Structure 1
Amino acid sequence: MSDQTQRFLFDDNDVRGETATLAESYQHVLAKHAYPEPVAQLLGELLAAAALLVGTLKFDGLLSLQARSEGPVPLLMVECSSDREVRGIARYHAEQIAPDATLRELMPEGMLAITVDPAKGQRYQGIVGLEGVDLAACLSEYFAASEQLPTRFWLAADSRRACGLLLQQLPADRIHDPEEREASWQHLRTLADTLSAEELLGLDTETVLHRLYHEEPLRLFEAQPIRFRCSCSRERSANALVSLGQHDAEQLLQEQGGTITVDCQFCNERYVFDAADIGQLFAGGGIQPASDTRH
């Protein structure tokens, strides 16, 4: 399985972990746009981070990571559902991007919003500044500064694969002494720090965990598949037109020469609506299926 997340749990420590590997789903995201290499890598790291975070949450809904800046990359956005369906997009100014550009150069003074939108319950959002040396450091610092469980990230992407490793300290159960808990947490983090980007991208989960923790008893759980899926549809596009109101929709139809085109920025799918479609929408007749010449 090339696209998956996989959870593991240390038997003698109050720490759990998660790995994420995205290959085919990552390629689907990159295939929609001709991203410069540094942008493709950063987008891959964000995809891996979203997959890791979803693995730590028990919810039915959508997780989104949205980074904004005034720099060469004004927008990065990734969504991952609780079903592990991912999509992502970046906005960039290619002429301002050096081949070896860093996060700080791509998104100076950037901010990252982490939003959990459950199907039922309250929406949650946290904000972190993109001030670390890389995305993994920024996310790790966010959890260190928040009241949530201490969490560390390791991320890598190379335009072929996007991979990640996460460690998260759990509430005291096996170890209750505060100093012993901290020493154990630091020990496991220090071992993970020895993992290179090449190893993270090139080795399977079992090999990575053996390489890092062969002296630590742990349990590896069943892998969960990840896939690319865009949530756009002709019906959702039609609903967006209905929300404009009939007068504005008809005016837009006239301005665009008799057809309204709705483009999905994530997957480049295009939905076209003509005067008959608009009339039927506001007559309460719903939407017509796309014809052979309309999508």
Structure 2
Amino acid sequence: MNSADQLQRFSFDQTDIRGEITHLNASYRDVLKRHSYPTVIAVELGQLMAATALLSSNLKFAGRLTLQVRLPGNVSLLQAESSDKGELRAIARYDESVDAEQLSFEDGQLVITIEPEKGQKYQGITGIEGGNIAKAMEDYFEQSEQLASRFWLECDGQNAAGFMLQKMPAAETSDVDAWDRLTHLASTIKQQELLELNTDVLLHRLYHEEQIRVYEPKDLKFFCTCSKPRLATALTQLGYDELDTILKEAGKIEVSCEFCQQHYAFDRQQVEELFPQRHPH
């Protein structure tokens, strides 16, 4: 049984094709235990987290990568984030007054955002149909990056996993049939195999006749980037008058992080300190 939360890169000798496998077990369940998501939401969010983990290998610098599924219906947002350190978090927004059976993933947008700690933010947008994250990812790489890519994303509500193959814009390869052959073999993976087999076993089962190179795995974990100073910065966007009104009514300002449910409170003195220009020395 696969247990490690990891991202595993691999490549095929004599070809311009690389791949990745990710397994999210504890990190995915850490997201679920903070929210009571209906199964239909939890499964889709697990697939999005797996996709985010696969893409996080593109972070060659300090920063974070965010995938958002923005939809017009009763499920309005799915969002997953990964840092360059392999720290993951995720959230969903949906109409909680609607029965779980009525929740649906309509056509919308998949938004990919890369935010380096230093440098320019990048954002790419592609269409997503019926919540099909794997297909939207393939479309994005085809249109925006001109890279042939295939994604397989699975989630059973307890564990999530993802598998990716990508054809790099590379030198001439002697193995002209490699892409068709390797993607065909990958498409034979069953959901249970992707979720439960450890990476070595899975790669051997698929590609024991190929020359495959496996790299050092990267560990993944749940981690929320919220903090009291970060939330304080967000509060200042509301402006002093708005915060003053809340303080007069409630005596303090209470905020919960929507990702991890961590609770923060600000009293009058702490709010006053956010606006030093009101108290010139």
Q: Note the residue ranges of structure 2 that are not aligned, 5 or more in a row.
A: none
Counterpart code for 2:217: A
What is the rounded CA distance, in whole Å, between the counterparts of 1:166 and 1:224 in structure 2?
15
What is the rounded CA distance, in whole Å, between the counterparts of 2:256 and 2:239 in structure 1?
19
Q: Which residue of 1 aligns with 2:182?
A: 188
What is the rounded CA distance, in whole Å, between the counterparts of 2:271 and 2:100 in structure 1?
42
Q: Which residue of 2 aligns with 1:155?
A: 153
CA contact (8 A) 1:107 1:130 kept: no
Q: TM-score, normalised by structure 1?
A: 0.87
Q: TM-score, normalised by structure 2?
A: 0.91
Shift of 1:134: 2.6
What is the rounded CA distance, in whole Å, between the counterparts of 2:85 and 2:131 in structure 1?
31
What is the rounded CA distance, in whole Å, between the counterparts of 1:23 and 1:235 in structure 2?
30
What is the rounded CA distance, in whole Å, between the counterparts of 1:282 and 1:70 in structure 2?
37
Name the SS for the 2:56 alignment partner: helix
Q: Which residue of 1 aligns with 2:126?
A: 128
CA contact (8 A) 1:12 1:174 kept: no
Q: Structure 1 vs Structure 2: percent identity of aligned residues?
A: 45
Do residues 111 (structure 1) and 113 (structure 2) align? no
Deviating more after overlay: 4-13 vs 130-139: 130-139
What is the rounded CA distance, in whole Å, between the counterparts of 2:274 and 2:144 in structure 1?
47
Do residues 39 (structure 1) and 59 (structure 2) align? no
Q: Which residue of 2 aligns with 1:233?
A: 227
CA contact (8 A) 2:65 2:82 kept: yes
CA contact (8 A) 1:113 1:128 kept: yes
Do residues 4 (structure 1) and 6 (structure 2) align? yes
Q: Which residue of 2 aligns with 1:277?
A: 270
Shift of 1:174: 5.4
CA contact (8 A) 2:149 2:167 kept: yes
What is the rounded CA distance, in whole Å, between the counterparts of 2:36 and 2:154 in structure 1?
20
What is the rounded CA distance, in whole Å, between the counterparts of 2:76 and 2:219 in structure 1?
31
Deviations 1:36-59 (A, max 9, x none): 111111000000000000113423
Q: Which residue of 2 aligns with 1:70?
A: 72
Shift of 1:23: 0.6
Name the SS for the 1:91 alignment partner: strand
What is the RMSD of the two structures over their aligned residues, measured on CA atoms?
A: 1.9
Counterpart code for 1:56: N
Name the SS for the 1:198 alignment partner: helix
Q: Which residue of 2 aligns with 1:291?
A: none
What is the rounded CA distance, in whole Å, between the counterparts of 1:146 and 1:275 in structure 2?
49
Q: How many residues align?
A: 274
Residues 71/132 of structure 1: CA separation in 2 closer, same or farther (3 Å cut): closer
Shift of 1:239: 1.9
Shift of 1:111: 1.2
CA contact (8 A) 1:6 1:224 kept: yes
Name the SS for the 2:120 alignment partner: coil
